[in-house]
Amino acid sequence: MELDYSAEEEEFRARLRHWLGTELPKLPARPDPLDWPARRAYDCGWQRRLYDAGYGHVHWDGSPTRRLIFLEETERAGAPYVGAGFVGLLHAGPTIAAEGTPEQRERWLEPVLRGDAVWCQGFSEPEAGSDLASLRTRAVRDGDAYVVTGHKIWTSHAEIADWCELLVRTDPDAPKHRGISWLAMPMDAPGITVRPLRTLAGTAEFAEVFLDEVRVPVANRVGAENDGWRVTLVTLSFERGTAFVGEVVACRRVLGELARTARKNGRWDDPVLRRRLGRLGAEFQALWRLIQWNVSEAAATGAVPGTGGSVFKLSYSHARQELYDAAAAVLGPDALDLGREWPRDRLSSLSYTIAAGTSQIQRNIVAERVLGLPKGR
């Protein structure tokens, strides 16, 4: 396995760096982070610029190595991240690319890449906890449509989304992992009510979604009826294996800023803090190497990330929280100022213990599928 970049890939890096240097000064000011409609317009506008320049496909329909270079260069240049396009670009889109029919790929993928469509994720449900397959939302077949009734929670970007990757129970009598289907639900369909949820950090990127006899065409089902759990595992593989990769680059930038801030405010004189930042630097370097290994393996085995994604997600969640705990130590009393970026990110980092499957779930996957330990009861 080769972890270094080739001359051709470095040429791609140079072209991208030049393009970013030309385009970024043209961008308007970033909107208020709490104003999600404005953030949607800003993020989709940036995605359209990438698409027009030939970089719109880089997240899933190109060389994995080029994607890593893209992430390194956009973060280095301070370019916008995927933002409102997170679900569509980083796990709904790749899932449709891997599991959808040719008609479904033609219908849904191009609008995501052009920045014309935003997706949300309707997986989690109240009282389900970490047991995703215990979902209760029902879909009853009625002619050429499913009639969907239920309640989703922690639905990312529901308030501004055009489409929802939705898990429903289509066979209530089957074992819980075998009676599920994966649907693409239009968010403007009658019967959908969205109620935003305000997080500890003050943002509202999550929502509750209530579904009252919502009709979803059967043609919107990705995969076979009652085979949705297998499709879901593909979605989770992308979510855990590659969706957070760009954030590791951002964390390495924050770590550098932490060190510079500590030198300015005198905290650098503390040897314990210096060792803490040095250890975090080593951890994020190791995570980047793990990412390179994971994307190399995925490219060699069919482009769907494997169980290495759970190793990454578990390690990354812990490292991210430690990073922002260290930020609090550097900032001192200013760490309580929620008007600043790092304190808000510290609160947000707490959610990574449960996002995309809890750390306990990831440990079980690592134990059973990577280490080969006996399955827990």
CA-to-CA dists, residue 263 to 47, 257, 285, 321, angstroms: 37, 10, 22, 22
* Amino acid in position 239: E
For helices 308-331 and 245-265, what crossing angle results, to 10°? 20
Helix (H) or strand (E) holding 206: strand 206-217
CA 295 remoteness from chain centre: 16
CA-to-CA dists, residue 84 to 33, 126, 140, 365, angstroms: 11, 24, 31, 29
- How far the first Cα of the chain sits from its last, in Å, is 37
Give the largest CA-CA distance in the chain. Answer: 71
* Catalytic residue ranges: 239
- Give dist(CA 197, CA 357) in Å, integer: 19
**Cα angle 343, 345, 349; round to 5:** 120
